[in-house]
Amino acid sequence: MSPVLTQEYAKTFPNLVSAHNIVPLEGPRLALFNQPLANQLGVKAADINVLREWCLGNPPTSGHAQKYVGHQFGVFNPDLGDGRGVLLGEIEDEQAQIWDLHLKGAGPTAYSRGGDGRAVLRSSLREYFASETLNHWGIATTRALALVSSQQGVQRERLEPGAMLTRVAKTHVRFGHFEYCYSQRLVTEQKQLWQHVMQRCWPQLTDAEPIEQFRAVVKATAEMIADWQAFGFIHGVMNTDNMSICGDTFDFGPYTVFDTFIPQQIFNHTDHRGRYSFLRQPSVGLWNLQRLSQALSLIFPVDALAPVLNEYEDFLQQRYLGRMRKRLGLMHGDDSVAFKRVGEWMGLMQRFEWDFQDSFIMLQDIIKGDRAMPDDDLFKEWYECYMADNDQQPQLGVMETTNPRVSLRNHHLAQVIAQAEQGEWTAAQSYLAALTGQSLSVDELSHWQQPPNSNEQVTSLSCSS
Ligand code: AMP
Ligand code: MG
């Protein structure tokens, strides 16, 4: 049987969508297609062409743009919604999990506010690579199923080639959906939407108390952000309309993964005050959850949910510690000692301006005796304590499976994008393979492992996508 694309969301929430006929790009070409993800969605080899057609912008029925609002840089904006994205529908996998398929860059919608409804190749490729890398690192994220390239020009700061990205997620419901219901006093819709999210993301909690349900959202959000902190990922635009309700990393824009660890650095060039800098991500996550709990006061008593917000920090810290224990091979011993050692390690990383991911590989090499220890008293002191914490035996195997050897780097992405814009996709295929742990030649791998030279460092990223 061919894959079936249902319209469950659009049928259940007619007041929260606007039907949208996709306007395909000129001369569309399926430049990247995520076959392992297609397999995971349960689409059989014989039906792959059906799925590919949908990704090219030719689904069997019209799609739907979703309405939402949000707080952008702390300010409420009522005029949001899918301005260029469209929910194609849902598909059910063999485990009966339902997945949203969403096409980004599908032409102007009812919520475009004069925008062109398009996405450029540069940002679509950056989203594809980030979501697949984060997924490989075990960080909750939306996925990328396909990237369609085109010769059609799209005007941004310069004229760029347009593209479309097919995004897959358990849900595309954002914090901003609930804020919309709250702002319009849509009680029935908000109740239904909450149930819908529970069924999709936490089916075991559909009959649980609201506080238990809200706890799942708080925990998922806290754990996602803890994972970002442990891997040096900066989202860059943590507006509430870019927060997935199920705690997936969502809406990749001017994101960065640190090369050199400079925690206070601001990469998003429109974020003048550094609201979304690396160090502020945990507190912004809580601020966003507060906006969500306020929106949910439409259907639940406020004081019923508020206590869970006090658990946020603990969820975040515990997850962060768990992750960092693995990154450092620090699997035993007291939590407070481990926390101290992790904090000191991050301090060393900052002091020496180490490359974020490579510093962990360096530590592995020092433990194995393959590399000399930095000639520095502070480092030696830390290393002695660290070895003592570990009974002289850090868990190298755990470190090796946790610490990526290839990182998501802006200068490599820039190289891949420049080639893709010329219609050359070999570098893209190779880098994607390196990022997602597929086997490659030694030369290729060593190329993608290179951190940037001083003249290749990216310090500022455009939000315009
Ligand atoms: P983003 O910065 O991608 O999170 O988008 C913020 C808001 O602007 C969302 O409501 C988007 O749908 C909308 N938007 C972004 N880019 C475009 C575009 N090129 N055309 C229409 N709407 C857009
Ligand atoms: Mg967005």
Nearest residue (CA) to ligand 1, atom 14: 83
Residues with CB under 6 Å of ligand 1 are 80-84, 112, 115-118, 242, 251, 253
Residue 371 has pLDDT above 90, yes or no: yes
Residue 424 has pLDDT above 80, yes or no: yes
Cα 454 to averaged position of ligand 1 atoms, centre (Å): 33
CB 235 within 8 A of CB 69: no
Number of the ligand 1 atom closest to the C-alpha atom of 79: 10
Residue 75 has pLDDT above 80, yes or no: yes
Type and span of the H or E element at 18: strand 17-20
Return d(Cα 250, Cα 245) in angstroms, integer.
10
CB 362 within 8 A of CB 352: no
Provide the pLDDT confidence category of residue 32 given band limits of 50, 70 and 90: very high
SS (H, E, C) 143-164: EEEEEEEEEEEEECCCEEEEEE
Return d(Cα 384, Cα 313) in angstroms, integer.
30
Residue 67 has pLDDT above 90, yes or no: yes
Mutate to test the pocket of ligand 1, among 67, 112, 240, 276 (most ligand atoms within 8 A of CB): 112
What is the pLDDT at residue 154? 97
CA distances from 364 to 75, 286, 341 (A): 45, 34, 16
Nearest residue (CA) to ligand 1, atom 7: 80
CA distances from 300 to 205, 240, 243, 292, 337 (A): 16, 20, 21, 12, 40
Cα 83 to averaged position of ligand 1 atoms, centre (Å): 5
Residue 283 has pLDDT above 90, yes or no: yes
Tokens of 173: 């419901």
- Closest ligand to C-alpha of residue 111 is 1
Which range among 129-133, 269-273, 459-463 shows the weakest confidence by mean pLDDT? Answer: 459-463
Cα 404 to averaged position of ligand 2 atoms, centre (Å): 28
Provide the pLDDT confidence category of residue 381 given band limits of 50, 70 and 90: very high
**What's the pTM?**
0.97
Number of the ligand 1 atom closest to the C-alpha atom of 241: 4
Mutate to test the pocket of ligand 1, among 22, 68, 69, 84 (most ligand atoms within 8 A of CB): 84
* Segments of 253-322 assigned E as strands: 256-257
Q: State percent of the chain over pLDDT 70.
A: 100
Nearest residue (CA) to ligand 1, atom 11: 83
Measured in whole angstroms, the distance separating CA 397 from the mean position of its chain's CA atoms is: 27
Q: State percent of the chain over pLDDT 90.
A: 93
Q: Which residues, listed in sequence order, are joined to residue 146 by a DSSP beta bridge?
A: 33, 166
What is the pLDDT at residue 258? 96
417 C-beta neighbours (distance < 10 Å), count: 22
CB 142 within 8 A of CB 248: yes
Provide the pLDDT confidence category of residue 269 given band limits of 50, 70 and 90: confident
- Closest ligand to C-alpha of residue 67 is 1
CA distances from 277 to 206, 272, 283, 304 (A): 35, 10, 11, 31
Measured in whole angstroms, the distance separating CA 179 from the mean position of its chain's CA atoms is: 21
Q: State mean pLDDT over 309-335.
A: 97
Q: What is the mean pLDDT of the chain?
A: 96
Return d(Cα 357, Cα 256) in angstroms, integer.
13
Q: Which residues, listed in sequence order, are joined to residue 168 by a DSSP beta bridge?
A: 101, 143
Residue 1 has pLDDT above 70, yes or no: no
What is the pLDDT at residue 309? 97
What is the pLDDT at residue 437? 95
Type and span of the H or E element at 165: strand 159-169
Task: Say whether 241 is catalytic.
Answer: yes
Residue of 142 and 460 predicted with greater confidence: 142
Cα 41 to averaged position of ligand 1 atoms, centre (Å): 27
Check residue 272 and report its DSSP letter.
Answer: T
Return d(Cα 163, Cα 169) in angstroms, integer.
20
Contacts 24+ apart (CB under 8 A), 421-427: 421/121, 421/122, 421/160, 421/161, 423/149, 425/31, 425/32
Q: State mean pLDDT over 393-418.
A: 97
Provide the pLDDT confidence category of residue 455 given band limits of 50, 70 and 90: confident
CB 353 within 8 A of CB 376: no
Return d(Cα 421, Cα 423) in angstroms, integer.
5
What is the pLDDT at residue 303? 87
Number of the ligand 1 atom closest to the C-alpha atom of 82: 12
Residue 385 corresponds to which amino acid? C
- Closest ligand to C-alpha of residue 65 is 1
What is the pLDDT at residue 367? 97
What is the pLDDT at residue 260? 95
Cα 119 to averaged position of ligand 1 atoms, centre (Å): 9
Q: State mean pLDDT over 38-61.
A: 95
From 82, 241, 251, 259, active-site residue = 241
pLDDT tens per residue, range 101-111:
999 999 999 99
Residue 445 has pLDDT above 70, yes or no: yes
Give the closest residue to 408 by CA, choosing from 268, 256, 267.
Answer: 256
